[in-house]
A and B are shown apart, each in its own frame.
Chain A
Amino acid sequence: MMRKTVSFIFVSLTSLAAVIVAAALFAIVFFIFTESIRAIKEVGFGLFSPNWYPVWETDPEFGVGTMLLNSLILTVWTSVWVWTIGLSVAIYLHKYALNKEREVLLRILEYVSGIPSVVLGLFGVLILGNWFLRLGAWSAQNFLNASIVLSVLTLPFMTSLTFQSLEKVPRQLVEGAIALGAKDLAVMWIELRYAAPGIVNAMLSVFNRIFGETMIVLMVAGGANLLVRSLLDPVRPLTATLGSEIGEVAVGSLHYSALFFIAFLVLSGSLILNLLTNRITRKLERWIKG
Chain B
Amino acid sequence: MRWTLRIISYGVFVVMLFVLVSIVVSGVPYFFRPGFFTAWPQRAMSEGGIFPMLIGSLMLMSLVFAISVPVGLIGTIFLSELAPRRISMFLKSLAGTMNSVPSIVYGVFGLAFFSVKLGFGTSLLSASLALSTMSIPFFMNSAVEFLRAVPKELREGVISLGANKLQATLMVLRASKNGILTSLMLTLGRAFSETAPILVTGAVFYSTKLPGKLTDPVMTLPTSIYAIVMNLGERSQWMAKAMASLMVLIMIAVYSLVQITRRNKRE
Contacts and interface: CB of A to CB of B under 8 A. Distances in A.
A285 to B, nearest CB: 15
A178 B129 CA distance: 55
Interface in B100-155: 100-109, 111-113, 116-117, 133, 136-137, 140
Contact of B166 (A7, A156, A185, A251): A7
B181 interface: no
A133 interface: no
Contacts of A20: 71, 75
Interface string A202-222: 000100110111110011000
A6 B170 CA distance: 13
Interface in B79-102: 79, 81-83, 87, 90-91, 93-98, 100-102
**Interface SS of B by simple majority:** helix
* Best-buried of B4, B189, B194 by chain A (most CB within 10 Å): B194
Interface string B220-233: 00110110011000
B50 interface: no
Interface residues of B, number: 84
Given A7-B165, A17-B78, A22-B94, A267 B105 contact: yes
Interface residues of chain A: helix, strand, loop or mixed (majority): helix
A266 B71 contact: no
Given A108-B17, A122-B241, A14 B77 contact: yes
A25 B106 CA distance: 10
Given A116-B248, A212-B101, A214-B104, 18 more contacts: A11-B165, A14-B77, A18-B91, A21-B71, A28-B98, A31-B109, A31-B117, A97-B9, A114-B248, A116-B193, A116-B222, A119-B193, A126-B229, A155-B12, A218-B226, A242-B104, A243-B104, A267-B105
Interface of A: 3, 6-7, 10-11, 13-18, 20-22, 24-25, 27-28, 31-32, 35, 85, 88-89, 91-93, 95-97, 101, 104-105, 108-112, 114-123, 125-127, 152, 155-156, 159, 184-185, 205, 208-209, 211-215, 218-219, 239, 242-243, 246-247, 251, 259-260, 263, 266-267, 270-271, 273-274, 277-278
A10 B169 CA distance: 10
Interface of B: 1-2, 4-6, 8-9, 12-13, 15-17, 19-20, 22-23, 26, 70-72, 74-75, 77-79, 81-83, 87, 90-91, 93-98, 100-109, 111-113, 116-117, 133, 136-137, 140, 164-166, 169, 189, 192-196, 199-200, 222-223, 225-226, 229-230, 237, 240-241, 244, 247-248, 251-252, 254-255
